[in-house]
Amino acid sequence: MPGRHPPRVGSPGPGTAVPRIPAVVEVTPPSQFPVLIVGGVRSGKSRLAESLAEEASGAMGLPVCYLATAEPLDDEMAVRIKAHQARRPAAWSTVEEPTGAAAVIRRESARHVILVECLTLLLSNWMRDPMDAQTFTTRSTDLVDAVRTASNPVIVVSNEVGLGVVPVNAMARQYADWLGLLNQQIAAVCGRAFLTVAGVPIPLPLPSPGRSAPTHKNASGLSPGDE
């Protein structure tokens, strides 16, 4: 969980065969971006995001900027990062930014399709140093605004970590609360969202247009009813 070692997400190591995402997602028109993709570990969310980015790039004649939030803090993470790098098209550019994703989106979206990989590690990086609810609100609001106002398509990848056992560690519970809230906030400004399970993308119904993103109302960082 949060701390020196970020949550383990990413691609299998070299030599591990992974089936491609089934072709069940129809072409996404520019008006339906941003897109949020959530899922568990090894669910196929990164493959789907890469496929959508390549599709949007071809449709709009724009290069892809891959916004990477992971850092090689240990050998295992370094291997995972290299696996992600190896399967990206050579024409894609990469910006490695562990904490300042909003600034990169604002800077690069005028001339790129943006793929953000991923919110899971971004939040973990934010929490390496003590962070209170107000700081989280400031950072998350800035990120949501950058995604919402981006000039060109943005695809955001995140984990769904709230379906398992509630952690006994207080910091891990706070992390899960904040990631769930951040996912909700991003979804509220997206045109499409998918949940990936066993390599299959499942389209999610989104809130009605005009619904505002959830905000903090209590010390846990959740609004009433957001649990």
- Catalytic positions: 84
Distances (CA, A) of 82 to 75, 209, 225: 11, 39, 40
Amino acid (1-letter code) at residue 192: R
DSSP string, 32-93: G-SEEEEE-TTSSHHHHHHHHHHHHHHHHT--EEEEE-----SHHHHHHHHHHHHHS-TT-E
Could you say which DSSP state residue 185 is in?
H
State how far the Cα of 179 lies from the Cα of 61, in Å rounded to an integer: 33
